[in-house]
Amino acid sequence: MPWDAQLFSARFLSEVALARNTETVGAVPYFDGLFSDDPDALVRSFAGEPQLHDPIQGRVKGAAAFTRYVRTSAADLKSRNATVEPVDLIVSETRTVEEVVLSYDGDAGRIRLPMAIVADREPGGLIVELRLYFSTWPITGEHAVRQPLLQLEPELNEPPIVAEYFHALAAGDTDRILATLDPDASIREPSGDAYVHSGIEDLRAMYTFFFSNGGGVVLDHCSITDDGRASALEYNVMKWGSTILPPQAGIAVYVLGESGKVSKVRIYDDSNPPLTY
């Protein structure tokens, strides 16, 4: 939830609280702010010059460009009867990761678009940069390779079970990766509801297929946001099996179950795997 609630009117915050079934609003969710008709509050939520990265629009930098982006995006989504379904929120001292499903009227019917919104923050809470992650597949039926937004950070402090998942993913070891998951774990691919896999046998088939190009999936790990319950990794996809890929930016969220193993994985990228379907 990136926007500073203190910058919005009391009436607007009351409407957000009512919609969220809560008494107070500590921070305003991304799309509530976008639809607020108050771009100045959004601009002032940044510590300095607004900067946002959008998978389709690219980098948006500066108050004027950001205001145009907000007004155009809000008007287009409102005209398409957009609704937003909250999924999860991870908060750390320097970053928030908000997950939603954005639904709106597309040219060929209703589109449900899983999306992650990452906000880097100063210690006081003001935003340094926003990064949006989603796949263009539900929109266009095609993948759009997204260049890296962040660089490799080799010393990230990932939770042990999540780090083991990554080691198994890179090694292309199906049994090892299944050992990191709850028996009833589910994994949602970037394209959304039609691409959810759950249960060990379904996941075994999925990973066996994913590793069918001669090995695992190698990622550059760029940032980790962890609240003890869930972790979000921003990464660049570097290699898929035997195929070296142009680096491609993405993020995935790993939710831990009561067992301490991974119970849910939600992926947000636009990689086009070199696999035969």
Residues in the chain: 277
Residue 194 is classified by DSSP as G
Rounded Cα–Cα distance for residues 122 and 165 (Å) = 30
With b for 16 or more beta-carbon neighbours within 10 A and e for fewer, the 204-233 pattern comes to: eebbeebbebebbbbbbbbbbbbeeebbbb
pLDDT at 23 over 90: no
pLDDT digits (tens, 9 = 90+) for 100-118: 999 999 998 999 999 999 9
Higher-confidence residue of 20 and 241: namely 241
112 CB-contact burial (10 Å; exposed 0-12 / middle 13-18 / buried 19+): middle
Rounded Cα–Cα distance for residues 3 and 94 (Å) = 14
3-state secondary structure of 220: strand
pLDDT digits (tens, 9 = 90+) for 244-256: 999 999 999 999 9
pLDDT digits (tens, 9 = 90+) for 155-209: 999 999 999 999 999 999 999 999 999 999 999 999 999 999 999 999 999 999 9
| Domain boundaries, given as residue ranges, for the chain | 3-140, 160-269
Residue type, position 265, single letter: V
- Tokens representing 185 are 């774990």
Q: What is the CATH number of domain 160-269?
A: 3.10.450.50
- Tokens representing 266 are 């939600």
Do the domains at 3-140 and 160-269 have one common CATH topology? yes
Residue 145 phi, psi dihedral angles, 5° rounding = -60, 125
Q: What is the CATH number of domain 3-140?
A: 3.10.450.50
Pick left, alpha or beta for residue 228 (phi over 0 → left; psi -120 to 50 → alpha; otherwise beta). left
- Predicted TM-score (pTM) of the model is 0.95
Rounded Cα–Cα distance for residues 67 and 64 (Å) = 5
The pLDDT, as a whole number, for residue 129 is: 98
Residue type, position 258, single letter: E
Query: pLDDT confidence of 237, banded at 50, 70, 90?
Result: very high
